[in-house]
Amino acid sequence: MTALVLVEVENGAVRQASRSAVAAASRFGAVDAIVFGDGAQAAAALPGVTRVLSVPGLVNDLAEPAADLLAARAKDYSHIVAAASATGKNILPRLAGLLDVQPIPDVVEIKDADTFVRPIYAGNALATVRSADSIKVLTIRGSNFDPVAAEGGSAAIETIEAPTSEKSVFVKVELSASDRPELESARVVISGGKGMKDAANFKLLEPIADKLNAAIGASRAAVDSGFAPNEMQVGQTGKIVAPELYIAVGLSGAIQHLAGMKDSRVIVAINADPEAPIFKVADYGIVGDLFEVLPELEKAL
Amino acid sequence: MTMKVLVPVKRVVDYNVKVRVAADGSGVETQGVKMSMNPFDEIAVEEAVRLREKGAAKEVVAVTIGAQAAQDVLRTAMAMGADRAILVRTDDALEPRAVANVLKAIATREEAGLICMGKQAIDDDMNATGQILAAKLGWPQGTFASAVTVADGRVEVAREIDGGTEVVSLTLPAVVTADLRLNEPRYASLPNIMKARKKPLETIEIDSLGVDTASRLTVVSVAEPSERKEGVKVNSAAELVEKLKTEAKVI
């Protein structure tokens, strides 16, 4: 059996979630990687990858040509795998549609080549499902699989032509500029909730994030209130994170938020309400006014 | 504009309900549990109705697949402004691949110019039906939409991606899947709820469509996730930092 992994490369480096997808796919046998745009070299350096299909002409991850290309190559593979990222979730189900198979999204555990565990109901239940399809199309929750190293491999690179797409045209992309680590790969994440009261107060998280080299996240309530942009959202409807340390500030701990961070190794909660559900999952809690606690925390670090 | 917008909606366990795993591990308890329209589908209905109100579409048709009881989400869609509705009747739970096969048949019959649907249902959390449907129809897709503009035979979709927002321009017909920030769905007013009762609701038996609705996945078991243990309360930031350093050894 050979698996094909859609590997995402950003600024010359393979995204951590893709390295986790390679680690997961290695369970099935040999691993080929496919890279859209530049970045084949970075994918070729991943340990465990035997061959890289490089598609430099496909630069914007448009789902239509990407899925067409993957479908044309699919018969050589038992499993086609991607990270459960915005890109993976856009392209892989479309591929599954072309192949007429049922995709299996957000896999958190691999039981065997046909059997997978995935969360349902915002992580309130875990379903174990067995697939009868001859080609399995999976997306992988990065936080549940230790990523392979970024270097150590030396795969062969084969360059292939990009198909064209007339039905779908890329217009533009607007990325939020940040020097901080990515939410999904940061060792420490500090998130603010509705208790932050307004967007300006999110700045209070920054000096602490600087000291801990942390990514900054937000609850859906904070995003809905306009305190923080959506790409900072942690939860079932945002990013799923599992850092070494997660600090939840002024954040009640709604089910949908817990679904996005409860696999963190150590959870800290700072909240004025001692009954807030976030304390039920926190290893360490401080009941108090976050506007007093945050400056103290900054000083203590 | 003569475009017809098809809006697939799903009846799911209400998002406020704390679901319980069935004792025999076969699924979650749905008996006697409050059911509602999938929240992402409400956003899709709202967007379709706004397109018609702006003159970009002529008609909004809601469709669901399920038992007779699933009519209630169609009535809700019509109370929000959908013009008519279709219930594809079945007692089976369908996977996204099967749902896409059914929706393809309905979209073809209705000659839909745009399919606007939620990006995922909050029960199975698959986030797949829109993409599969687009593939099967051979239409382009605009997933995880935060803004939708229809003009000159195309639809421009702003999409939520990991680092920010991307904009794509698609030829019509197309499939758009709604993300949270696309709009705030209106509440159905009482007069509109009354009016919705008189709007046409057609029932189609699923077998009459002649499409493949077989499941490819077998549910082996459904289990509760492991619970985290509640930790300790500390009295100060200094004590917290101390514990993170010496006890948790995380900083």
**Average confidence (pLDDT) over A58-79:** 95
Percent of chain B at pLDDT exceeding 90: 92
> Distance of CA A9 to CAs A137, A245, A262, Å?
20, 26, 27
Look over chain A and give the mean of its residue pLDDT values, rounded to a whole number. Answer: 95
Among the partner-chain residues A63, A103, A166, the one whose CB lies closest to the CB of B128 is A103
Give residue-wise pLDDT tens across range A150-172.
Answer: 999 999 999 999 988 889 999 99
Mean pLDDT in chain B?
96
Q: Is the pLDDT of residue A187 over 70?
A: yes
Cβ-based contacts of A281 with chain B (< 8 Å): 228, 230
Q: Which residues of B touch A213 (CB under 8 A)?
A: none
For residue range A97-113, what is the model confidence (pLDDT) as tens digits?
Answer: 999 999 999 999 999 99
> Tokens at residue B146, please?
């935060």
Band of residue A120 on the pLDDT scale cut at 50, 70, 90? very high
CA of B122 vs chain A CAs: smallest distance (Å): 6
| pLDDT score for B227 | 83
CA distance B96 to B109: 20
At A255, the pLDDT band (50, 70, 90 cuts) reads confident
pLDDT of res. A182:
85
* Contact: A121, B162; criterion CB under 8 Å: no
CB–CB contact A103 B218 (8 Å):
no
Using the beta-carbon criterion (under 8 Å), do A90 and B140 form an inter-chain contact? no
Q: Which residue of B has its CA nearest to A103?
A: B128
- Substitution target in A102, A112, A170, A281 with the highest count of B β-carbons within 10 Å is A102
* DSSP characters over chain A: -EEEEE--EETTEE-HHHHHHHHHHGGGSEEEEEEESS-HHHHHTSTTEEEEEEETT--S--HHHHHHHHHHHGGG-SEEEEESSHHHHHHHHHHHHHHT---EEEE-EEEETTEEEEEETTTTEEEEEEE--SSEEEEE-GGGSPPPPSSS---EEEE-PPPP-SSEEEEEEEEPP-SSPPTTT-SEEEEE-GGG-STGGGGGGHHHHHHHT-EEEE-HHHHHTTSS-GGGBBSTTSB----SEEEEES----HHHHTTTTT-SEEEEEES-TT-THHHH-SEEEES-HHHHHHHHHHH-
Assess whether pLDDT exceeds 70 at residue A67.
yes
Residues A268, B248: Cα–Cα separation, whole Å:
11
Q: Please, which pLDDT band fits residue A238 given cuts at 50, 70 and 90?
A: confident
Q: Crossing angle, helix B129-137 and helix B96-110, to 10 degrees?
A: 50
| Min distance A28 CA to chain B CA atoms (Å) | 19
pLDDT tens-digit readout, B64-88:
999 999 999 999 999 999 999 999 9
pLDDT digits (tens, 9 = 90+) for B199-216: 999 999 999 999 999 999
ipTM of the prediction: 0.95
pLDDT at B1 over 70: no
pTM for this prediction: 0.93
